[in-house]
Amino acid sequence: MPEETAEEELSYEAAREELIAVVHKLEAGGTSLEESLALWERGEKLARTCQGWLDGARKRLDAAVDSDD
């Protein structure tokens, strides 16, 4: 898995790719409980980052549509 970067510094694409890697590692199993919890926590942070990017994009799209009306 790539070195962790602060979530707010990640682009949507980078956060999504890291989240996918976290999910694959969790699904593969073979990690200790402590490592699994750390991966889960990282995944939650990455998911929030992705959602923040998507929410921001939605607001920008809504603003663009509203300005056209």
| Domain edges within the chain | 11-68
Q: Given 2.130.10, 1.10.10, 3.30.70, 1.10.287, which CATH number is that of 11-68?
A: 1.10.287
The answer to pTM > 0.75 is yes
Q: What is the pLDDT along the chain (69 residues), one digit of tens a residue?
A: 445 667 668 999 999 999 999 999 999 999 999 999 999 999 999 999 999 999 999 999 999 999 877
Given this model, what pLDDT does residue 21 score?
Answer: 98
Using CB atoms within 10 Å of the CB of residue 38, give its burial: 0 to 12 exposed, 13 to 18 middle, 19+ buried.
middle
* 30's tokens: 């073979």
Q: Which two tokens stand for residue 35?
A: 């490592």
How many alpha carbons lie under 13 Å from residue 33 in its C-beta half-sphere? 0
Please give the Cα distance from 15 to 54 (Å, whole number). 12
pLDDT at 55: 97
